[in-house]
Structure 1
Amino acid sequence: MSKLDDADIESRYPDTNNFIRSITSVKRLSLCIRSLNAEELNNLKLCPCDTNWSKLLARLLEKSPSLRELEICLNDDHKDTCVDPPLVSLENELNPVPECMRSSLETFKWKGIHGSQKEVVDVVKYILRNACCLETAAVLSQSTPETEDKCKMMIQELLHSFLSSATCQLVLE
């Protein structure tokens, strides 16, 4: 598919690696994946620059029972183009709590926060409150002089959060 300009794909079980390699030249893509099955996913790094990233996060948490490491990291080259989308409430979206939160998620890291303080705090609190096996949780705000006060307030609120895991090391910067 090296010369493909348009693609309208509907699939139940895509081979993700081959699929991504095959659409490198696509200019317009319509994609419907009916069954997201990420049972073998152990490590997820997700860039929150798209308006639907938190919905994708909710689905991936739901469908990844073996997830051990989750990193939300705003790519440096996306900082100027990303939007501050409204985040979905994981509390409302994920009922019951996903299996990975109850049995396997050990590491959570959020680096390069953008968006409203309340929305970010809600996502982080959900993970801290529900990830029973969490060993390390790090929120690295990378504040600028303009956002320093907002980041300090967010860190103070997170310091008082309930941790589901008694052994979790919480790192807030």
Structure 2
Amino acid sequence: MRHVFNTARALLAAEGLDLGHTEWLTIDQQRIDLFADATGDHQWIHVDPQRAATGPFGVCIAHGYLTQSLANLFMPQLLTLENMAMGVNYGSDRVRFPAPVKVDSRVRGHGQIIRADLLGDAVQLVVRITVEVEGQARPGCVIDTISRYTFNPPYE
């Protein structure tokens, strides 16, 4: 279920809100290879299935940064901002990779609004995205994303 916010006041009031889960997404070898090409990270544990079969995970695994980047895919599935003048990615805090994401695993995002602060006319929002891996107790990534949003009209 996507949560919709159309004012700064509504977003500020959402601090602590559990945003729920996204749909499942399969992390296939093609996605891993495309990420390797985009970043230049062609380490064998990601892109060489034959060698990875004899490695510590038994198969190729997704790059940690690939798993982290899924936060950008999952955020709009969890919340929608209407009447927004501008939104910017301000950064992130506390990025962790508790468990590997093996090739052909299914992952989904779980979101929670950790903090919402008014900074001038903007709302600074910290959303924790947990990348859950189907069938695994530990997530593939936990990241506290930081974004700043300004609404039309600004906070009154």
Structure 1 length-normalised TM: 0.21
Using CA pairs below 8 Å that are at least 6 residues apart, which structure has the higher relative contact order? Answer: 2
Higher helix proportion: 1
Structure 2 length-normalised TM: 0.22
Higher strand proportion: 2
